[in-house]
């Protein structure tokens, strides 16, 4: 296109000089460029409803099929959800693309960085976006992919005072929606690459009582994790030091000044996939939402565990949410009992979905949502180690306290890891 435009410019210049040349050839050229631009810029129009019709032109047919196959009860609900993604890097950008392609209602994107060629070893950004802010580049790509998604971009640093204020205000903003949520979003996904930013997301979510999921990839690029954090109900990020999947390399060594962290599109793609899969399970209520899932790519080992909140947590908002959670326990128990009874009586009345052509029943929500019974233990499953923060900023957070891995899982994992280590 550049060549054609150069030639057009020359023609216009010669026109300026002569004023006698016929402009017909210019006209033709501009029409040709218009056609070129049209082909390149064709965007699909917005759709009003998600159709399950099986035709090539339906962007949602393969997602709506999740209903017919008994995986999700009501897929179209996804359009009602708002998700905030903090950090649009190797994990966050792919997470944003996955949610966009799934037809999420609204995405809020936060980052302050710009796209560099050094980011090209991870998915999503393109060399022609170098120099753009990551949020602008993401909006450009995502709005082309799915114009149905409402995109909000915030090019700011959440670790500054001003940035933190805008961040929390944007999470709180509910607009004219009547959603029954306490904030304006259903879930926050943390995809940042440093300890400080994670502590800031933790602070905001504890203050707002906002459920969030954390993700991370080790600096040697070969392990990662995702974690669900429900203020008051699970450990917050300050309750226990962050965990890393042990990969035989001392994390502290990797944090030396001037050392460039390694990264791989594979590890980051897997972590983004596990994160958004967990988010979809949480939002659309199918399968089991993982409280913690690690990924050690050298051994293809995936440890899992649960962590209870620490009553001595240094984060005051976390302790407040814990107290609220304890106080509301009787009401929760009563509601759960009513639900179980209602489902038990529904079960005797017949199948869950009378219109179910394939006689496949939807996975039972109550079974899936029941969390593992856990007993107190300070030990971590083998394969996981604590990642020590480099600063002494939050020394209290190093007390593991009530963090309680599920012992049944733990023993199995230990046996499995011993077997793997013995190879």
263 binds a copy of itself (CB under 8 A): yes
CB of 408 to a copy of itself, least distance (A): 5
- Residue list 282-311, contact with a copy of itself (CB under 8 A): 286-288, 290, 293, 297-300, 302, 304
- Residue list 87-126, contact with a copy of itself (CB under 8 A): 94, 97-98, 101-103, 116-118, 120-123, 126
Task: Return the residue of 150, 261, 334, 336 that touches a copy of itself, per CB under 8 A.
Answer: 261
18 binds a copy of itself (CB under 8 A): no
Q: Which is nearer to a copy of itself, 181 or 415 (CB)?
A: 415
- Residue list 28-67, contact with a copy of itself (CB under 8 A): 30-31, 33-34, 37-44, 54-63, 65-66
Reduced to 3 states (helix: H, G, I; strand: E, B; else coil), residue 119 is: helix
CB of 351 to a copy of itself, least distance (A): 16
Helix axes 2-18, 24-40, angle to 10 degrees: 160
3-state SS track over 389-417: CCCCCCHHHHCCCCCCCCHHHHHHHHHHH
- Residue list 164-193, contact with a copy of itself (CB under 8 A): none
Q: Where are the beta strands (DSSP E) in 112-168?
A: 150-155
CB of 245 to a copy of itself, least distance (A): 13
The site for a copy of itself, by CB under 8 A, has a size of 117
Sheet holding 150-155, edge to edge: 150-155, 106-111, 82-86, 187-190, 212-217, 223-229, 292-296
- The 134-163 site mask, x for binding a copy of itself (CB under 8 A), equals ----------xxx-----------------
Q: Which is nearer to a copy of itself, 391 or 423 (CB)?
A: 423
369 binds a copy of itself (CB under 8 A): no
| DSSP symbols for 284-319 | HT-S---SEEEEETTTTB--B------TT-S-HHHH
Task: Return the residue of 222, 228, 236, 243 that touches a copy of itself, per CB under 8 A.
Answer: 222
Reduced to 3 states (helix: H, G, I; strand: E, B; else coil), residue 161 is: helix
> And the tokens for 323?
């107290």
Task: Return the residue of 274, 317, 319, 380 that touches a copy of itself, per CB under 8 A.
Answer: 274
Q: Is 313 a catalytic residue?
A: no
d(C-alpha 65, C-alpha 74), whole Å: 11
- Parallel, antiparallel or unpaired: strands 384-386 and 243-245: antiparallel
Reduced to 3 states (helix: H, G, I; strand: E, B; else coil), residue 133 is: strand
390 binds a copy of itself (CB under 8 A): no
Catalytic residue positions, numbered: 260
């Amino acid at each position: 296109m550049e060549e054609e435009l150069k030639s057009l410019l020359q023609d216009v210049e010669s026109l300026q000089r002569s004023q006698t040349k016929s402009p017909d050839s210019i006209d033709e050229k501009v029409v040709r460029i218009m056609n070129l631009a049209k082909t390149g810029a064709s965007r699909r129009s917005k759709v009003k409803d998600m159709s399950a019709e099986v035709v090539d032109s339906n962007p949602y047919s393969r997602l709506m099929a999740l209903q017919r196959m008994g995986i999700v009860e009501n897929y179209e609900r996804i359009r009602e959800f708002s998700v905030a993604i903090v950090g649009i890097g190797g994990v966050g950008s792919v997470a944003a693309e996955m949610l966009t392609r799934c037809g999420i209602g609204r995405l809020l994107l936060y980052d302050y960085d710009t796209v560099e060629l050094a980011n090209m070893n991870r998915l999503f950004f393109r060399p022609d976006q170098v120099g753009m802010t990551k949020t602008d580049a993401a909006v450009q790509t995502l709005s082309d992919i799915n114009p149905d998604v409402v995109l909000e971009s915030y090019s700011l640093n959440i670790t500054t005072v001003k940035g933190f204020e805008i961040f929390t205000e944007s999470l709180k903003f509910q607009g004219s929606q009547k959603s029954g949520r306490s904030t304006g979003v259903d879930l926050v996904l943390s995809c940042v690459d440093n300890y400080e930013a994670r502590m800031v997301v933790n602070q905001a979510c504890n203050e707002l009582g906002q459920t969030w999921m954390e993700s991370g990839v080790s600096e040697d690029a070969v392990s990662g994790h995702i974690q669900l954090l429900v203020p008051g109900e699970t450990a917050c990020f300050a309750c226990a030091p962050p965990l890393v999947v042990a990969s035989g390399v001392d994390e502290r060594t990797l944090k030396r000044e001037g050392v460039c962290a390694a990264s791989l599109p594979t590890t980051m793609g897997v972590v983004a996939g596990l994160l958004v899969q967990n988010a979809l399970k949480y939002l659309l209520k199918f399968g089991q939402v993982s409280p913690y899932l690690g990924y050690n790519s050298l051994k293809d080992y995936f440890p899992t565990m649960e962590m209870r909140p620490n009553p001595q947590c240094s984060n005051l908002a976390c302790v407040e949410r814990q107290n609220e959670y304890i106080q509301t326990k009787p009401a929760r128990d009563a509601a759960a009992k009513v639900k179980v009874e209602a489902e038990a009586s529904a079960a005797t009345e017949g199948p869950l979905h009378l219109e179910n052509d394939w006689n496949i029943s939807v996975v039972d929500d109550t079974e899936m949502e029941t969390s593992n019974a856990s007993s107190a233990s300070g030990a971590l499953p083998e394969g996981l180690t604590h990642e020590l923060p480099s600063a002494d900023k939050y020394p209290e957070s190093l007390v593991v306290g009530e963090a309680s891995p599920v012992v049944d899982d733990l023993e199995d994992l230990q046996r499995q890891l011993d077997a793997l280590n013995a190879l």
